[in-house]
Structure 1
């Protein structure tokens, strides 16, 4: 049945309504048609009213003390100082902190009725002062996993006083965006913290207040949660904390729990190591990001009857300061005949120094079986088989001769230079790591030939008339490697290993060897493997970094009176007594001996020498390396013609040796 309309037109009288015969019939139809829709409408209105009442009651009873959870990415509006001078390679002007005016206000902490209520509070963790500072760091690139952000953090005010000078020094270098976060339950304001620690307005540090109110256990949790928030907003490349007794236990527990989860390297500073670790302020975020990734092994090959020199070296190692990282693994290669003094000393020798029973032993002693003297080839093989990098990029080895004595600061220098020249942003951009064969701790007195004295080059821009005093002394790059005290990078060690492997293979297959292969440029006063290291440097255009004279005095001394000829050349040099190159280790600090107040020079500011001591340029070094490589391929590698792809340097050295792969 069609519904009757409700408009005027549908309610008007029709002529048929006046007919008596049909009146009752039409009346009943009208009643049925209008009653059903009215009942449906009433039910709908009742349901709508009930739903509206429920929504009203629900909204009116919502809790008002829960902060709104903002899932947006932070919107930053930093103001930059256009007058701030930028240093070369600096990350850019330091942003002035200005909170976003449109940001929602943070929820206030619960009003304290008394001091005891603050310590007993166990409600939701709040960081009421954090919103503004985190919303003011957009120009630091915190949204990217790789950036220039470095974070210093503390909960104790004493720890803050320890770290803040380092943070300011790093910030003033303008290589990083430096942040300082204050955790814990302290009610001190950041302005008061700056004032108490004597920080001027020039201190280029961005401050973040993570102070919260809670119980001790929840303060630990706040450290964990706080670092999680920092990681999301800032992605710091490194975290610097004080791990001494000055710092709060709850803070260290929370940070140590969260840092590995967030993948943030922790650099641990203590009150007694702050001055010795001041050089970290000179590094950029790229270097600090691999702080815990790099490892160093120490390798010592002891010749026969060399107990005096070996014991002297091991004692200096035991007295060294390894606060810049984990103590290196130590491997000592012993000859067949080990004298009694060495045997007795090794019985009580502890490595790491002062090792507790719970610490792992990081000492490996290897005792050779054959009684016969080593040949040149055997000496090289035994040396290169003593170490293999677990990671070519991060594993390195420090080679020491027994006549070396190290200062207590040598490990700081090695880590400082390795981080700067292998991992910094400048090193990656300019490919310094591809050129650096090793880092020497000594300043040699002679050339590799053994007879000609080495005159260290002067600083660029100085002349010989200015003298060879400290004013003209400079670190320099030399194509000639060293064997007394040198750190080899893992990648270059693998290349040297491959070079010797291929050379020995050719030697076994060839009855006559060219003079290019057999001529020695390195004196027999040095071990046989050094000749191969020189071949590698000449073929690839590699160099070794040598320290300036003032720095060398703070690193190592070589005792000429303790010299023992390499075992493979011992009979030939039995009657030879080389002059002493010893000089006393200086009492100054390493930081003071570096140029420019602890600055490490870029490679392009250092003099560059060919293997024979001739001053050269990078372009000439590359040309000479290309000529040497061509001759090597022709005379030794058996190469007639190579495709361009075959000429590309490979770590396997197959670009120098044209034999077919097995």
Structure 2
């Protein structure tokens, strides 16, 4: 190894180094021997150092793509709860929003699928540039700055939900009773023009469209989209003040949209109307309501009150079964109260054990129970006074403006669509703009579901009046589609408004107090105009109707046959009159119409007639006009006051109608 690293000069002298030489006396005997080992040691150190560097560089630069790997290399999975995600990097440059194409633009294209959205995505402040422009364009023309206006809003985030809502919105816009708006929210990338084309919406659709999606919606997080729904509704509320918000409740809508809307809308006082699946056919009548009616949609409550007489087990069970089959998709299911007699038969007891109200699955812990059963304690038969008081005390409206009661006799059997008709009629005749403007709501005592077969005194059969012919439309309408107004109330199946129920309570309270304090009772109050085949409280309802000039709305003959059937084949007289009328009245059941008759066909043109287009009847049957009805009411009120006595001292101002009924009982205390 040593010779490998020697120079040529050293190699030439190699042999000489091994030859014997004479040592000079001037040199130390060990000096030559020491120099050679030092030279070799330096070379060896240099060799070791070079080898060390070579090994270090080889190890340092080992390749990493060889098959053998370090098995301890960490694996990266989803972050655990509490781990912070890295801040998003710079966003790619996006194309500016395109303007919606004209309806006569390119042919319709299939809507693109929704992009998959991660929980970690774009999350920056929200901008609504298209929404700002569209709201500004209609702010003045639709009265957006006023709290009360004619604006109605449809909103959707899911494209399938939008397709369900758009036909309903266009149909409502065609009625020209409200300014109808449609707002698209959420994270879809479809532009508004393409949305219209895909759903076949052209210029004939009277709907104002708003793009309420935030900037960069397609890559936004779910939380950002939820927040965008609340902020978009905030801007819409400030610039439009919608009277109602209609959304899809079929199950297709986005969760983030529903969460944002249902959180924010109540804060603004905007009623949210959730449309069920197939709303364009099941709730087609909703498109005929104006913004004022829709504003009252979720404020209305209806209670159902049934007063069961002894021996009506079969009739009561049949009625309860028909109620369970009802379609209550038009609002909250009514609360049900059943007044039971002292003696309840076994069949009724067993049926009520398993009866579920509201109808639906009972295994849910959150399923509310809205059934009240009241069982009478006394054995004795009720008197007229006791029966009236017990029945009227069974309901009291929490808010007389919006709380109403549906009174049903056990002989009634209802159609599955009865609640739709009631909701439609209540919204139109009590809360619509024309109803408030023409004071219809103050005249309406109740809404009947059937047409009685006899007059109130049961002296002769009742025949509904013919349609009211007007010069401008002499051939319009049909007698079978003609609803009418009658001063006579109904106890078979009728809804009474909360305000009139309060007045009826007050009248009965004052009347009973007067009769107990006055002996003998004047003949004016003892005379019975209502047959004993009807319950005693109906006599008091007739007094109220005659004194105030109120009327009850009755449906057309065709509509009544498809809303309620009154089974008189098992008729039982009211308990207070049962001994007097034992089996005195027996009739066949009124035949019901075909269950397949479309709901809209029951109304003739599909719309409810205004009151001034309906025939008007006095309590005993003759057709009259509104002026004559008012004169008859004034005359009856004066007779009422004279029967009470002491009214001569009242000033004209004291005779003004009062809800306290003090104007009828001749006292100056309110």
| Structure 2 length-normalised TM | 0.79
Q: How well do the aligned residues superpose, as a CA RMSD in angstroms?
A: 2.2
Q: CA deviation at 1:276?
A: 1.5
Partner residue in 2 for 1:29: none
The corresponding residue for 2:228 is 222
Counterpart Cα distance in 1 of 2:602 and 2:175: 19
Residue 575 of structure 1 and its aligned partner are, at CA, apart by 2.8
3-state SS in 1 of match to 2:619? coil
Query: Is residue 2:296 matched to residue 1:294?
Result: no
Residue in structure 2 matched with residue 474 of structure 1 by the alignment: 482
Shift of 1:556: 0.7
The equivalent of 1:158 in structure 2 is 160
Query: Is 1:238–1:265's contact at 8 Å kept on the other side of the alignment?
Result: yes
Q: Distance in 1 between matches of 2:315 and 2:196?
A: 52
Post-superposition shift, 1:585?
A: 4.1
1:390-429 residue pairs with structure 2 within 5 A? 390-429=398-437
Structure 1 residue 591 corresponds to structure 2 residue 600: yes
Corresponding residue for residue 503 of structure 1: 511
Q: Offset at 1:470?
A: 4.9
Aligned mate of 1:177, from 166, 176, 179:
179
Equivalent of residue 452 in structure 1, options 457, 460, 475: 460
What is the CA distance between 1:637 and its match in structure 2? 4.9
* Structure 2 CA distance for aligned equivalents of residues 288 and 567 of structure 1: 41
SS at match of 1:640: helix
- For 1:634 and 1:130, the matched residues in 2 are separated by 66
User: Aligned partners of 1:153, 1:470: CA distance in 2, in Å?
Assistant: 39
Question: What CA deviation, in whole Å up to 9, does each residue of 1:7-54 have, x standing for no partner?
Answer: xxxxxxxxxxxxxxxxxxxxxxxxxxxxxxxxxxxxxxxxxxxxxxxx
SS at 1:139 equivalent = coil
For the 8 Å contact 2:340–2:376, the answer to whether it is kept is: yes
Q: Are 1:202 and 2:232 counterparts?
A: no
Give the CA deviation at 1:263.
Answer: 1.2
Contact 1:287 1:419 in 2 (8 A): yes
Off by >4 Å, runs of 4+ in structure 1? 114-119, 469-472, 659-662
Q: 1:349-369: per-residue Cα shift (whole Å, max 9, x none)?
A: 111111433122111111111
**Match of residue 501 from structure 2:** 493
Counterparts of 2:118 and 2:496, CA distance in 1: 59
Moved more, 548-557 or 390-399: 548-557
* 1:111-161 superposed Cα distances (whole Å, 9 cap, x missing partner): xxx998998221222223222211111210111111100000001111011
- Alpha-carbon distance in 2 for matches of 1:118, 1:357: 32
1:555–1:116 CA distance, 2 compared to 1 (3 A): closer
Structure 2 residue aligned with 1:616: 624
Measured against aligned partners, the alpha-carbon deviations of 1:355-408 in whole angstroms (never above 9, x if no partner) come to 433122111111111111011111111111111111111110000000000111
Partner of 1:419, secondary structure, is helix
How far does the alpha carbon of each residue in 1:569-628 deviate from its partner, in whole angstroms, 9 at most, with x for none? 0001113133224212432122221121x2111100000000111000000000011111
* Pick aligned residue for 1:553 from 561, 567, 570: 561
1:564 to partner: Cα distance: 1.1
> Contact (CA 8 Å) 2:480, 2:556: kept in 1 or not?
no
Matched, 1:232 2:238: yes
- CA distance in structure 1 between the partners assigned to 2:334 and 2:119 by the alignment: 46
Q: Does structure 1 residue 540 correspond to structure 2 residue 541?
A: no
Partner of 1:626: 634
User: In the alignment, which residue of structure 1 is the partner of 2:581?
Assistant: 573
> Do residues 320 (structure 1) and 322 (structure 2) align?
no
Tell me which of 647, 650, 655 is aligned to 1:642. 650
Quote the residue 1:86 is aligned against: none
- Structure 2 CA distance, aligned partners of 1:201 and 1:631? 61
Q: Aligned partners of 2:116 and 2:279: how far apart in 1?
A: 36
Q: Secondary structure at the match of 1:207?
A: strand
**Aligned-residue offset at 1:455:** 1.1
Deviations 1:465-520 (A, max 9, x none): x99x9555400000000000010001100111111111111111111122211111
Please give the alpha-carbon distance, in whole angstroms, between the structure 2 residues aligned to 1:653 and 1:343.
41
Q: Deviations over 1:268-305 (max 9, x none)?
A: 01224442211111111111111111110000000001
- Which one has the largest radius of gyration? 2
Instruction: Give the aligned partner of residue 663 of structure 2.
Output: 655
| Alpha carbons 1:445, 1:581 under 8 Å: kept | no
Note the C-alpha offset of 1:246: 1.2
The residue aligned with 1:139 is 141
Query: In structure 2, what is the equivalent of residue 267 of structure 1?
Result: 273
Residue 355 of structure 2 is matched in structure 1 by 349
- SS in structure 2 at match of 1:437: strand
Distance of 1:535 and 1:174 partners within structure 2: 40
Taking the aligned partners of 2:408 and 2:121, their CA distance within structure 1 comes to 58
Following the alignment from structure 2 to structure 1, what is the Cα–Cα distance between the partners of residues 584 and 181?
60
- 1:219 to 1:370, Cα distance in 2 relative to 1, 3 A: same
Q: Shift of residue 527 of structure 1?
A: 0.2
Aligned equivalents of 1:585 and 1:344: distance in 2? 31
8 Å Cα contact 1:540-1:625 kept in structure 2: yes
**Match of residue 43 from structure 2:** none
Aligned to 1:82: none
Q: What corresponds to 1:439 in structure 2?
A: 447
Secondary structure of 1:193's counterpart equals helix
Q: Distance in 2 between matches of 1:660 and 1:263?
A: 40
Equivalent residue, structure 2, for 1:308: 314
Structure 1-normalised TM-score?
0.80
Alpha-carbon distance in 1 for matches of 2:271, 2:414? 29
Partner SS, residue 275 of structure 1: helix
Q: Distance in 1 between matches of 2:470 and 2:456?
A: 26
Provide the rounded CA distance (Å) in 2 between the counterparts of 1:150 and 1:128.
Answer: 22
How far is the alpha carbon of 1:644 from its aligned partner? 1.8
Q: Distance in 2 between matches of 1:297 and 1:158?
A: 36
CA distance in 2 between counterparts of 1:244 and 1:580 reads 42
* Alpha-carbon distance between aligned partners in 2 of 1:229 and 1:345, rounded to the nearest angstrom: 53
Structure 1 residues 560 and 540, CA, compared in 2 at 3 Å: closer, same or farther?
same
* Per-residue deviation, residues 164-205 of structure 1 (Å, max 9, x unmatched): 011001111111000000001111111111111111211100
CA distance in 2, matches of 1:497, 1:503: 10
